[in-house]
Amino acid sequence: MKKTMPVEGQFELMALPYAADALEPVISANTLGFHHGKHLQAYVNNLNAALPGSGLEGMPLEDVVMHAQGGMLNNAGQILNHNLYFAQFMPPKADNAPTGRLAKAIDSAFGSFEDFQEVFAEAGIKLFGSGWVWLSADAEGHLKITQEPNASNPILHGLRPLMTMDVWEHAYYLDYQNRRPAHLDALWQIINWNEVASRYE
């Protein structure tokens, strides 16, 4: 995974690789504006304020996540999680599915893409409270689904994160209210499997 380097000792809000309304109707421009422009910006501001004197200045974001604790870990973890989350999307596409080596790895690990979707969505539905559900790879390339509470990331368990769904309510409440399963089901339409596959290579 390419490491996110700080700019002049501080981190910056990532630029979205698509227009604000590009993910509609799965994720509205309104939700994206709050989620990216306000929630993620707040995490970036909080981390930058906490870095001076921490001994972690100048480190790549992933290294900050690995070494930070408490509030700094929460903010660094949320930045890393959201950067991976927002970068994995594209405009909605019908019958959206992975291909190539990643598709074969999913079939090998879960039986079929449909079985993977079911297990992944179930993990997201059953994650209590706030957090993230991840598809990750271990050192041998074997795929795993993990539930990460709050701001945790699979790199803390020695895994390489490939794809995620955010189950914090701010990710979906404006569009789906309390219907988390409907939100998770809709997200499959906008996963950029080429981006996810590039993280697996």
Residues 50 and 106 in one domain: no
Residues 45 and 115 in one domain: no
Residues 73 and 136 in one domain: no
Own/partner pairs, 35-43, CB within 8 angstroms, 24+ separation: 35/82, 35/170, 35/171, 36/82, 36/86, 37/13, 39/82, 39/170, 40/13, 40/14, 40/78, 40/79, 40/82, 40/86, 41/13, 43/75, 43/78, 43/79, 43/82
> What is the domain range of residue 66?
29-87
The whole-number pLDDT of residue 201 equals 86
Residue 148 placed within a domain: yes
Rounded to an integer, what distance in angstroms lies between the CA atom of residue 6 and that of residue 110?
Answer: 37
Let me know how long the chain is: 201
The whole-number pLDDT of residue 10 equals 83
Whole-prediction pTM? 0.93
Residue 95 placed within a domain: no
Rounded to an integer, what distance in angstroms lies between the CA atom of residue 31 and that of residue 45?
Answer: 20
Residue 1 placed within a domain: no
The whole-number pLDDT of residue 1 equals 59
Over its length of 201 residues, how does the chain's per-residue pLDDT go in tens digits? 556 655 454 899 999 999 999 999 999 999 999 999 999 999 999 999 999 999 999 899 999 999 999 999 999 999 999 999 999 999 999 999 999 999 999 999 999 999 999 999 999 999 998 999 999 999 999 999 999 999 999 999 999 999 999 999 999 999 999 999 999 999 999 999 999 999 998
Nearest CA to 170 out of 23, 24, 34, 17 is that of 34
What's the domain count of the chain? 2
